Structure formats: C-alpha cells, structure tokens
Structure 1
Amino acid sequence: MSNFSVKSNAWSSAKKGAPINEDATSMDSYAQIYVVSDGMGGAQRVSLASQMACEFIPRFLQSTSLGTEATWPFEKKEGLGLEENLLRMALLQTNGKIIERALHENKMEWMGCSVVAALVFSQKIVIASVGTCRAYLYRNGHLTQLTLDNSLAQYKKWLPLEPHHNIPLNFLGKTETLEIDSHCEKNIKEDDLFILVSSGMVNALPPEEILFQINKNISNFKELSNILVEAGHQRNPSFDSSALIIGI
C-alpha cells in the first residue's frame, strides 16, 4: 500500500517478575498494518485478548481492501475518510471476535484489551486506537502525540498522568458501543518515525523521555524499540511494556 520503503521493529517485555506478558505486537509488511495491544481481564486468559487483536486486525486487512467497501461488515462512519474507515472496520470486527470468544467458552473470564494500530498507504498513514495505548510521530527532532487516550485520567483531566489513573474507559471486548479514536497523517515524509506504545509504556515513559531516547539513538533504528522498552523498565519495572516503531 505504500510507495515508501517502510521499515519497522518492535520489542515487548513483561513486567519484573511476571511469568506472562499481557502485551502483544504485530508487524505485517504485506498489508502494511502494525499493531500494539495491551490485555486485561481474568487471570486465566489475561493475554488472550491482546493476542487476538494482533491476529485478527491484520487478518481482516489481508482479506479486504478499499475497493471492496460494499462488502464491509459495518457501515462507514461519517466524517472519516475511506482509509480511516477501513482500519475502523478491522477494529470493530476484532472487537466482535473477542466478545464471541469470551461468551462461548464457559471457562473464559471477562477479557479485553487496549489497542493502537497503524495502516500505511502511499502518501499517508491512518491510525486507530481504543483505550490507553498511544501513537506518536517523531519528525525533525520533535515528538507529537497523535492519539487521544480514552482513560479515566483523560476524562477527569488529571495531570500529570499517574499510573493508577490511567484506567481505560474503552477497550476491545466491550459489549457496549465502541468508540474508536481515528487519525490520518497526510503527506508522510521521509525519515518520519511513528511510535506505537502499550499502556505500560505510557505509564512508565513520559513523552519527553521518549523524545530524549529517540534523539540519542536515532542512528540505531534496529534497536530503538528495545531501547525505549528498557528505558521504561528502568524508570518503572511494574508494567508490561511494548514499543513498535515504523520508519519511513
């Protein structure tokens, strides 16, 4: 979908002493879809929802396209472009899959996940998020937050962000109406970096520290996601942390 030479890398690490990482990441260079998710729910399947998000969002986008909108399983949302609606469809369909899995397995406890996904096109990138995972744009030495947290802290406007306030009010696996934050970054430029991070990274590593680490390690793209996650764990090892970086 992209005319640029797109590169990517991701790193995910469980919190200190945890046997299970509730985060998941996915990089699909064929469909140009990139996903970071952060699971929540019952202890039995605490990571399943995040794994399903990283499986089904790319699967939907591999099997459909902008030219097949007549067959999309949900109505398009007014005010969004076709590309944004395509990614929105993938999240809505995945939401249904997670709900269905939880309902039809008797032993399954409630589960859900925050998610952020980026879909790259020839001259633009569209981003969708649900919950407390985030996307940033790094361009010309500056970092811009592209997504809006759907959290208790955002709703109450509590600043600075405290981890115990960063509770998602919206998530995949929610049976009520699902609100999806959509963003379209037009005219993407060479050397742009799009950084997707899990909720744990949001809790552990503030934007100014992410910017510092990128500026310091900009020449080491292959290790950059690992560097960010390790920096997050050094500041606060109490969270699963994941970073996925898309380089244009």
Structure 2
Amino acid sequence: MMPTMQSYGLSDPGRVRKNNEDFLLVNRGQNLYIVADGMGGAQAGETASRLAAETVLEVMEKRGQSLRDLEEAFIEANDRVKRTAASDLTLEGMGTTLVGVLEDQNELHIASVGDSRVYSYYQGKLESLMEDQTWVNEVGRRLGIDEDTLKRHPMRHVLTMAIGVGNPLRVNTKTVPKLPGMQLLLCSDGLHGVVGADAIIAVLADPDKDLPSKAQTLVDAARNAGGPDNITVLILQV
C-alpha cells in the first residue's frame, strides 16, 4: 500500500464578497478530501457547503471505502441539504457544488456535482478529471457556440446540477490510479474561473515551492485577477 498523500488547503473570501460560502474538508483518518462551493445568499450558502461536506464524512465513517460508498454519501448529502432547507425559510433554495477525493490504497475515487473541479498534474500535464455540470459545458458547447462567446454568455454561471437542488441527483464519478509524483488540485470556480491553466501549471510545476506555498500562490493569483468570488484551493501530493 502506498503512503497516505500529503495535502494542504486554503479558502479565501476573495476581494468582492463579504462572506465565504466555500468549505474545504480534509480528514486523513478517512483519507477523504472535499471542496464545496455554496450558494443561496446570507448564511444559506455557508450552511449548504459545510452541511454537505460534513454529511459525506459522516456517511463514509459508517461505510466502506469504495467509489459506490462515496457516491451514496453524495446522495445522502443532497437529501440532507434539501431537508434542512425545507425546514427553515431563511435557508430556502440553498445548494452547493461538491467534489470529493477518496484515497483507497493504490487508487483515488472521485465524485463531483456542479462545477468545482479536480485536476491531476502529472509529468507536466494538467487534466481536469471531471465534467462540469454547467449550462456552458452541457448545453452551450453541444450547440456549437464558440468559446469566446461562451465566456461572455449570460448563462455562463448557471449550474445544471447542485447538491440540495438536484432531483434526481446526477453524481459524476471516476477512479484513477495513484501515480508517484502526481498532484491533485481541488478548487472552486473562484480559482479556475479566473486563473488560466498555464498559470496553474507554472505553480504546480515549481520544484522550489512546498504545498502551502503553492496553495497561497494560487489564491494570490485569483485575488490579483480581481477575486470576484470565494477562492478555495486544496492540493494533494502522492
């Protein structure tokens, strides 16, 4: 069995929003790593992201370590966020993206809902491992709309699926091998929406930076690009 991964995460409100509705969770006991980006205004987004992440951890502590277990934990998180919103008018309409990585011996199980991302960086190549559940990705591109137009499109921020909103929930899942030297980057769209792939690669490839320095550099890059949204970065190193 390969050793447990190193990890480091940061979450920053950015330069525009007063509240930070993002949430990150690292639980080395369960080998579980999560980033969530809440929505709903006031305290609702913060409640949704924290509740979803903590529900996944709670479910995984009672179950096994399979990809199916992770998927079912996401489904339970969806149900719990919906139930909580239905019981409190101040939380009505809340939801959250959710992306999780579960380390399982020589494999990494990944589950995703919404548009928070998990990238792999390995041997100089950056790859987004999951499909965004967004109007742009699932509708706009299939209609043949060009990328420049999509970047300005009024539907560019619309999710097609989120925890607390999806019924039935569609969870994207994947298992990838753990490869020596691989880095994984989990992040909210406060990072990937404003910082380009080349800039992310430059940070992850830097041999002189440790994980905390890489995470801080990525957050700073998003803030320097205007920081229009909450920024959450969680880097895993095999």
- Give TM-score, length-normalised by structure 2: 0.90
Q: Which residue of structure 2 aligns with residue 76 of structure 1?
A: none
* One-letter code aligned to 2:206: K
Q: Tell me what 1:64 maps to.
A: 63
Q: Secondary structure at the match of 1:47?
A: helix
Give the whole-Å Cα distance in 2 for the aligned partners of 1:219 and 1:48. Answer: 34
**What CA distance in whole angstroms lies between the structure 2 residues aligned with 1:4 and 1:217?**
21
**Alignment deviations for residues 130-159 of structure 1 (CA, whole Å, 9 cap, x no partner):** 011011001112111101001011021152
- Residue number in structure 1 paired with 2:235: 245
Amino acid at match of 1:145: S
CA contact (8 A) 1:151 1:167 kept: yes
Change (3 A) 1:33 1:44: closer
Equivalent pairs, count: 230
Alignment correspondent of 1:26: 25
Tell me the residue number matched to 1:105: 88
Residue by residue over 1:44-66, the C-alpha shift from the partner in whole angstroms, topping out at 9 and shown as x without a partner, is 42311011122111111112115
Distance in structure 2 (CA, Å) of the matches to 1:105 and 1:18: 24
Q: Secondary structure at the match of 1:167?
A: coil
Q: Distance in 2 between matches of 1:232 and 1:218?
A: 21
Q: Which residue of 1 aligns with 2:53?
A: 54
Give the match's secondary structure for 2:111. strand
Cα distance in structure 2, aligned partners of 1:114 and 1:162: 20
Separation of aligned partners in 2, 1:144 and 1:16: 28
Q: Indicate if the aligned counterparts of 1:26 and 1:34 stay in contact, CA closer than 8 A.
A: yes
Query: What does residue range 187-198 of structure 1 map to in structure 2 within 5 Å?
Result: 188-198=178-188
Distance 1:27 1:193 in 2: 16
Worse overlay, 115-124 or 218-227: 218-227
Q: 2:159 matched to which residue of 1?
A: 168
Q: 1:140–1:87: structure 2 CA closer, same or farther, 3 Å change rule?
A: same
The 5 Å alignment of 1:1-248 reads: 3-66=2-65, 83-155=66-138, 156-157=140-141, 158=145, 159-160=147-148, 162=151, 165-186=156-177, 188-216=178-206, 219-248=209-238
Unaligned runs of 5+ in 2: none
Q: Say whether the 8 Å CA contact 1:98–1:112 is kept in structure 2.
A: yes
Q: Which segment drifts farther, 89-98 or 224-233? A: 224-233
Aligned-partner residue type, residue 162 of structure 1? K
Unaligned runs of 5+ in 1: 67-82
Q: Secondary structure at the match of 2:205?
A: helix
Matched letter for residue 213 of structure 1: V
Relative distance call for 1:154 and 1:216 in structure 2 (3 A) is: same
The separation in 2 between residues aligned to 1:93 and 1:41, in whole angstroms, is 20
Contact residue 7 and residue 236 of structure 2 kept, 8 A: yes
C-alpha displacement of 1:5? 3.3
The verdict on how the C-alpha distance between 1:11 and 1:92 changes in structure 2, with shifts beyond 3 A counting, is same
Moved over 4 A (4+): none
Q: Which letter does structure 2 place at the counterpart of 1:153?
A: V
1:95 counterpart SS class = helix
Displacement of 1:15: 2.1
Contact 1:42 1:110 in 2 (8 A): no
Which whole-Å CA distance do the structure 2 matches of 1:97 and 1:183 have between them? 24
Stretch moving more, 2-11 or 124-133? 2-11
Q: Structure 1 residues 191, 3: CA separation in 2 closer, same or farther (over 3 Å shift)? A: same
Distance 2:165 2:115 in 1: 14
> 1:12 is paired with a residue of what secondary structure?
strand
The Cα shift of 1:98 comes to 0.2
Let me know the Cα RMSD of the aligned residues.
1.8
Cα distance in 2 for residues equivalent to 1:105 and 1:63:
28
